[in-house]
């Protein structure tokens, strides 16, 4: 584990957002495990949708369908009616299709296997990695747009993100620890939301600014570089 990784995990212990699908760092230390069902539902809802928008929908959803078995017996029209306002309705349809497959083929449980997860409706590379990392604490490199921004700034990757995917992943691999991977993935998400923001990064409050190459060279406001059309 790098010093930067340790600092970010320590920062997360003190600054983790309280989210209804998440267990807190203190709960994690006490041995409480995340609920894979809640992790899955949240990851699907969070696709192209903000946390603030998702929270009330998530709470209502898991009250109504609190397990895979119940969700698998729902009607599509019922799911779609609930989904109104979240948009991207294919997510809702795939959620129901996935629940039916999970109920029949996996005993109503989320599998901790990358290939099996990727075979399920609505689950791609990012969602499969996030589920394995957050729900099962497996070492997965979980990279979304927010994490890409952090990596680009930290390692001073000056080419636009679309041209730097391999380099971003290589640098992220150095950063992600072998242990506490789930907490680390969530630490990066919170860090991107609270400190390493898109337009106005709070570098004066950043606990890893001394390791940030973009900050060192005064490039934190122009990295990630925008794609030239």
- Residue 27: active-site member: no
CA Rg, the chain, in Å?
A: 18
Chain centroid offset of residue 148 CA:
12
The two tokens of residue 177 are 């620890």
Choose the catalytic residue: 43, 140, 148, 220.
43
Active site residues: 43
């Amino acid at each position: 584990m790098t010093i930067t990784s340790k600092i970010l995990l320590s920062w997360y212990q003190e600054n983790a957002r309280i989210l209804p699908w998440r267990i807190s760092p203190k709960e994690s230390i006490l041995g409480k495990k995340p609920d894979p069902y809640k992790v899955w539902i949240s990851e699907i809802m969070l696709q192209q949708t903000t946390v603030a928008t998702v929270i009330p929908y998530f709470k209502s959803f898991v009250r109504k369908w609190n397990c895979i078995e119940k969700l698998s017996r729902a009607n599509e029209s019922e799911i779609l009616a609930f989904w109104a306002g979240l948009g991207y309705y294919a997510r809702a349809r795939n959620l129901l299709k996935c629940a039916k497959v999970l109920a029949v083929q996996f005993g109503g449980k989320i599998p901790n296997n990358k290939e099996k997860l990727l075979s399920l409706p609505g689950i791609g590379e990012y969602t499969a990695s996030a589920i394995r990392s957050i729900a099962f604490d497996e070492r997965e490199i979980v990279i979304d747009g927010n994490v890409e921004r952090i990596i680009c700034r930290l390692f001073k990757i000056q080419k636009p993100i679309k041209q730097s995917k391999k380099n971003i992943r290589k640098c992220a691999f150095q950063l992600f620890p072998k242990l506490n991977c789930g907490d680390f993935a969530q630490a990066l998400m919170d860090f991107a939301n609270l400190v390493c923001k898109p337009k106005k990064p709070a570098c004066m409050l950043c606990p890893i600014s001394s390791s940030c190459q973009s900050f060192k060279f005064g490039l934190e406001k122009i990295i990630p570089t925008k794609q030239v059309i």
